[in-house]
Chain A
Amino acid sequence: MKNPVTSIKETSARYKTLDAQDKKRFWVDGILNNAIYIILVIFLIYTYTKNPLIVSPSAIVNLLTLVAANLPMALGIGGCIVLTGTDLSAGRIVGLTAGLSAALLQGASAANKYFENLGEPGIGMVLLVLLLVLVIGGLVGMVNGFFVARFQLHPFIVTLATQMIVYGACLIFYNSNGNNGQPISGLSQAFRNFVTGSILPKFGGLAIPNYVLYAIVVFIIMWFVWNKTTFGKNMFAVGSNPEAANVSGVNVFFTTMMVHTLAGVTYGYTGLIESARIASNVANTGTNYESDAIAACVIGGVSFVGGTGTVGGVLLGVVLLRIIYVCLQFLSVDQNLQYVIKGAIILLACSIDMRKYLTRK
């Protein structure tokens, strides 16, 4: 990273040498390239003038928790997009792992117990289930990755197929053991404390749930993986040009498979968190989660063209989507218009993203 002060000095020195036309272009480009940030700030200021509570501690904690809930999945799916792919199975994997976590971690006195022989789970059991869902998520991701890498199938098709398979499994699961599709809830205290309890210091007198902390940990891990490991570098190499990567000795098959596996692990993790965060799990839990995650990645500059994107960008995308959500609530915007606004922002963000790519060409 360059020192920001020197980089500003350099930019201003360069700016002085430009002629009038180039100066104009400098500003236009600057505005367009940072449009997302500008939109974000305008949106926040506008909301603030209408409803100052948007900057209250409780609103900030609320935003934090909403971002923390979506971030891990977006980071997982981001890897698939870097490989010019996508992942449609994400939401259903969350549904399955959320159901499994809930069923395994119900309290001893839950109203409709899925596994009647299980007693009151302790923290050890919670960690064990966490491991289990990470493995399950990872396995489905690995299957996705295998078919994408081995048969050169587009991830859209592969994950569309696994989405259905996982959903089927999820429906079977919810209808088995005498559950008849009933929601699985009545979660144990240990599980709820693990996810929604708070060990972080309070912010403005408000408890910050643990999953915010976990999301930070996931973010740091993913930042490390993307930026500091050979695997991360390989991922970008395969994303920008698989043939070139192959020629330069990158194992394209392994990289593709691992990116999908890693994505699957984040879905498994999200499943466990969602299970306790929402506390009522049905077969539909997680439906369409991937759409928000994909949108967040694209808004954050992870291009469908492949090979570009940053972990910070994904975070920004998630934050932007969540700020839109919160602001629209604080502004009491008409429900129907909310779709329009959200859609327009995604479209705008994608266009700006493509524009950058086109000028680079």
Chain B
Amino acid sequence: MKRLILACLFLAGSLFAQDIVELKQPNANKVVVKLMFRNGSIADPAGKEGLTVATVQTVMQGGYGDVSYSAIQEKLFPMAAGYSASIDKEVSIFTFSVHVDFLEEYYPIMTGLILNPSFEEGDFNRVKINQQNYVDQVIRASSDEVYSKRALEDLLFRGTNYQHMKQGKSASVETITLDDVKNHYKQYFTRTNLMLGIAGNYSDDFLNKLLTDLKKGLPNSDAILPRPGKANQPNGIEVEIVAKDNAFGSAIFTGFPLNLTRSSDEFAALMVANSYLGEHRKSYGKLYHKIRKIRSMNYGDYSYIEWYDNGHRFQLPPAGVPRSSNYFALWIRPVQIAKQLKQQYEELQNIEVGHAHFALRLALREIDNLIANGISAEDFEATRTFLRSYIKLYAQTPAQQLGYLMDSQFYGRSDYLKELDGLLANLTLEQVNAAIKKYWQTENMYITIITDKSEAEPLAKSLKENAASPMSYSNLVKSGLPEDVLKEDDEIAEYKLNVTSVKIVDSANTFQ
């Protein structure tokens, strides 16, 4: 059986004062090592946005010493050993994993890459070309959902170091040079801001050697880590519509600043409320039930009280993206636009705008209802029971377990998932309903909508004028809807939103 050891060691002399997180699993067939550096895209200098990503990727896609990238890949090939890196706003994490059979041969590659990366021009060029392509094309063309999420962050954090996509902007990536990358690595990837995590079947000798080598090899730096930017306070509901060619629907993200993270015990209370409102990729949330299940408007609708990385791909929240600047968000997956509805249904020829306005009204009205009425004792119990079981699934693999333990340190906790279970167990209904009132509101928020050029103007007008937005069902669906749903639709259609500004931006001009 797995033996879980969690240790927080500080080496003598504090020359090497990073935390060490250990998870020994003597029956595992592999070893996972994670190096979490406490600096992410917020450390990018102004005008060089994307530098941290370029730096980390050049290390990961390059060689070390005089060993080339291709030579490393060849050496690792029969081991099927890998390594990867993830970068977020406040941390950059290198993850190495190898089968125990090859641990000794793997070691020099792992330490070589971190301590002595070769920073070859050719490797850097390859990384830069792809990064440029991402900011120029991929983000706009691949998934409107990811696009709308990035656009929301751009709006929420405008003017701060949290604003830009970690990959940077079109103009900033162009200016990044190999020298920038080398300097950035030396300044910000140091032993003073490192947390080391190790999981699996390793010996104490192995860990000691790794510690000694990192201590010897990583530079010290007095570079000051920037303070994370805080989300802007919206003045009323501020909407930004991004218009693009040939969008099939309207993809929506909304949010407002949230002064609460996993560090606080209150987080557990808001987590229950949030799970009830819109648990990620689950059919039990209120939003999902009303928008997708009853009204068939889209593929799903969810809410968030912290950053959820790659939510369009993952069912369970991944570790490795801890943040100290937080915000509340709603994800309304693409709803139909007028152009599409007209093409599909004879009876909808006279509509001018699709379903986005109605969907927004519905979602915000649900939040208002929760603020006014709270959740019931029964729903509280059911949601708490669900969460106490569900959070155990967050960390099923050794790498995920290690990742969650390291994130715990970031938030000043020792084992977040375990502590969370305790907090949930002791929670009361009153605490949940108090947290809703304290942290949620719908008067002031940012909304981003990615939509088709044909939809942008009519939608903007409808939002700006707070015009009624009756739901335009096809006859097929409408004929079978119960009276109470149609009645609720009438109320939703007129529900007042505190919209104070609506701006249309051409897709080509986003993330400048």
A and B are interacting partners: no
A residues near B (Cβ < 8 Å) are none
